[in-house]
Structure 1
Amino acid sequence: MRAAYQYRLRLTKKQAIEMDRWLEMLRFQYNYLLADRFRWYEENRCSINACPLVCHLPDLRDNPNYFSQKRTLPKLKKDRPWYADIHAHVLQDCVKRVALAFKKYLKGDFKGKKSGRPRFKGKGRYRSLTFPSLGKDPIKGSLLKLPKFGWVKMIYHRSIPEGFKIKTATITKKADGYYVTLSIQDDTVPQTIPVYEVSNPVGIDMGLKSFLIKSDASEVEIPQYYRKAQKRLKKIQKAVSRSKKGSANRKKAVVKLGKAHKKVADTRKDFHFKTAKNLLDNHDLVAHEKLNIKGLARTRMAKSLLDAGWGQFLSILSVKALNAGLLTVAVNPKNTSQNCSNCGKKVPKKLKDRIHSCPNCGYTADRDVNAAKNILNLAVGHPVSNKAV
């Protein structure tokens, strides 16, 4: 089992300057390696139906890949000695990032879905670096030892569980400072409970009126963190827009805006973690809709939908359930709002109709509660008795 623990770093002024220098050097190297791949791609590609009779191509060379670009690092350190200050594994991780970005652009991911053309990193746009391995016992109290960088202070607000080993450390620069994300691993895998052994399942229907409504008719209110912060964000954004580019006042306003947006994101994520924990503490199976969030984000509901953060919540819920040996089941949302959860007959209704009233069996319930029950029934494969509302 793998987990990620994030801690805030308290770097000294000298350490912060050095970390900024590392990130800038890695940014230059990332852009150079990416340009090298694009150069090879442009020089060697040729459409099958547009090949000229006389070719004026330069001498062809092998396609740069992860291993060939990694072999250039010793020469880089010889030509530019200041790159020797960076740990070798951190430089190799930079090469790996270029290889992954270019692979997704040309071939796609494991599902065949391609990403857009990789972009060069502008100043301040390379914000993280990864140590693929740490030394033995890298944590002593509230201090963390980073290879070739030294001991750094962190806010060690929760200890690493017994039996877990630290695999990697990723340093990330955010609006309010530096953070470290420790990837920890335990070889023991929790046994997931079978569907037929669940004793307290629940179905949830995600919404914008309420964040979610459970099949037992209880609901979780939607917090709308972004909408509540909009007025303040607009004021700070106006200060950024009105300040002169490159000025000190603009830099201060940009930092202030970044912190304000980060606060919204952090409070939303905290809400998602607490809601997921509450669900998993009380239920051993959580059934939800398999939502096309990217498609829904192109509708008029985009701002409210992204403010709710359904995708992040469902991702957190599935990971936490897997780590606890519990189940989350995603079902097809088709007709979950239209079908009667009591008799299964289709009862057409418009979006404005908030009460489900079945003319076939006489069952009456809130529209969202009925949908949550249908989701639960689809997940377990049979009707689950719940108290009628």
Structure 2
Amino acid sequence: MRISYQYRLKPNKKQREIIDKTLNMLRCLYNYQLAERFNWYEQNRCSIDRCCLICYLPELKDRPNKASQEKSLVQLKKDRPWYKEIHSQVLQVVSDKVDKAFDRWLKGDSNGKKSGRPRFKGLGQYKTFTYKQFKQHHFIENKITLSKIGDLKVIAHRPIPDGFIIKTVSVTKKANGYYVTLSLDNKEVPTVKPDFNADNIVGIDVGLIDFYVASDNTRIAAPKHLRKAEGQLKSAQRKVSRRHIGSNRRKKAINKLGIKHKKVADTRKDFHFKTTKTLLSNYDVIAVEKLNIKGLARTRMAFAIHDAGWGQFLSILKNKAENAGLSVVEINPNGTSQECSSCSHKVKKSLSQRMHNCPVCHTSLCRDLNAAINIRNRGTHDLYNQAQSMSSKKSL
């Protein structure tokens, strides 16, 4: 099982300079290796799909890959000795990032979905570097030792759980300071909760007026963190626009704007974690809709959907449920709002109609509550089918 803990770093002036210099050199290396990939791509492709019998074919160049670009780091240190100030594993991670970004553009991910063309990193846009290996004794209480940087003070607000070992360490520069992220690993597989009760199930319908409505009629209002901070963000953005490009005052204004955006993101994430804890402490199984959030975010409700952060909330909910030995069931969302939860009769209604009134069984209740009950019923049905298939496999 893999988890990540993030702590605030308190580097001194010299260490801050080293971290900033390291990030800038890694940015240059990233852009150089990405340019190598683009040069190979442009020189080895041709728009002509046919040719005559006698023609000149240029010699094809070898394709740069992760192994070849990592091997070139040895020569890089000879040509540019200042790169010796960076740990070798940190340099190797840059080649890994370039390889993944380029392959996702040409080949796509494991599902075949392609990403956009990779972009070159501008000044200040490369913000994280990673040590692929880490010795456990280099992190003791409130101090961490990083190669080529030294001993840094850490605000360790929570201890590392027993049984977990540190696999990788990442240093990130954010608007309000520097952070270190520890990737922790435990060989033990999370076990199902001993008193797990599959009948203790709830369905939740996420929304924009109420963040979610549960099938037992409990609901939480949407906090709208971004909407509430919109005035302050606009004011901070105007200050950035009024400053001259490249001036120190503009840099300070940009930093203040970044801090405000980070506060909104942190507040939203804290709300998601607390909401997840409330759900997992009261229910053993949570049924949710398998939503196409990216598609919904392209509609006129994009601002409110991004403000709610459904994707982050569902991701946290699944991870926390797995670690706690509980279950999250994703169901097909088609028709959950139109179908009557009492008699299954389809009652078509527009988005502005907030009440469900069934003409057949005369059920009248909140539209979101009706959807949440349908989600719970479908989740119960899916759990029953899974149990039946598991029992049949065991009998075979």
Q: Same fold (TM over 0.5)?
A: yes
Cα offset, 1:207, TM superposition: 0.7
- Aligned position for 2:176: 176
Q: CA separation in 1, counterparts of 2:353 and 2:69?
A: 61
- SS across alignment from 1:137: helix
1:63 corresponding residue in structure 2: 63
1:321-375 deviations in Å (ceiling 9; x for gaps): 1111111111111110111112212122222222222232232221111100101
Comparing 343-352 with 94-103, which one deviates more in the overlay? 343-352
Q: Give the drift of 1:312.
A: 0.8
My pick for the range that moved more, 286-295 or 207-216, is 286-295
* TM-score normalized by the length of structure 1: 0.94
Contact 2:197 2:284 in 1 (8 A): no
User: SS where residue 228 of structure 2 aligns?
Assistant: helix
Aligned 1:212-223 pairs, distance under 5 A? 212-223=212-223
Secondary structure of the 1:277 match is helix
User: For 1:156-180, what per-residue CA distance to the aligned partner results, in whole angstroms no more than 9, with x for missing partners?
Assistant: 0011100000001111111011111
Aligned partner of 1:55: which letter? Y
Structure 2 vs 1, CA of residues 330 and 51 (structure 1 numbering), >3 Å: closer, same or farther? Answer: farther
- Name the counterpart of 2:293: 293
Other-structure match for 1:387: none
Gaps of 5+ in 2: 385-396
1:6 is aligned to: 6
How big is the shift at 1:138?
A: 2.0
User: Is 1:54–2:55 an aligned residue pair?
Assistant: yes
For the 8 Å contact 1:135–1:147, the answer to whether it is kept is: no
SS at match of 1:110: coil
Are 1:2 and 1:183, in contact at CA under 8 Å, matched by a contact in 2? yes
CA displacement at 1:198 relative to structure 2: 1.0
How far 1:50 moved relative to its partner?
Answer: 4.8
Structure 1 residue 60, shift from structure 2 partner: 2.8
Gaps of 5+ in 1: 385-389
Contact 1:134 1:147 in 2 (8 A): no
Give the drift of 1:91: 0.5
Cα RMSD of the aligned pairs, angstroms, is 1.8
Match of 1:45 in 2: 45
Q: Give the Cα separation in 1 of the matches to 2:137 and 2:237.
A: 44
How many residues are matched?
382
Q: Secondary structure of 1:236's partner?
A: helix
Task: Give the structure-2-normalised TM-score.
Answer: 0.93
Query: Percent identity over the alignment?
Result: 54
CA contact under 8 A between 2:136 and 2:166: conserved in structure 1?
no
CA distance in 1, matches of 2:123, 2:56: 38
Aligned CA distance change for structure 1 residues 9 and 383 (closer, same or farther; 3 Å) = closer
Contact 2:135 2:166 in 1 (8 A): no
8 Å contact 1:193–1:327 — kept in the other structure? no
Distance 1:356 1:69, change over 3 A: same
Q: Tell me how far apart the structure 2 counterparts of residues 50 and 14 of structure 1 sit (CA, whole Å).
A: 60
- The AA in structure 1 aligned to 2:268 is R
Q: Which moved more, 1:234-243 or 1:44-53?
A: 44-53
Pick closer, same or farther for the CA change 1:330–1:193 going to 2, 3 Å.
Answer: farther
173 and 51 in structure 1: CA distance in 2 versus 1, 3 angstrom threshold: farther
Q: Deviation of residue 136 (structure 1)?
A: 3.3
Name the amino acid aligned to 2:162.
E
How far residue 29 of structure 1 moved from its aligned partner, in angstroms, is 0.7
**Range that drifts further, 185-194 or 236-245:** 185-194
Deviation at 1:148, TM superposition (A): 2.9
Q: Distance in 1 between matches of 2:200 and 2:5?
A: 30
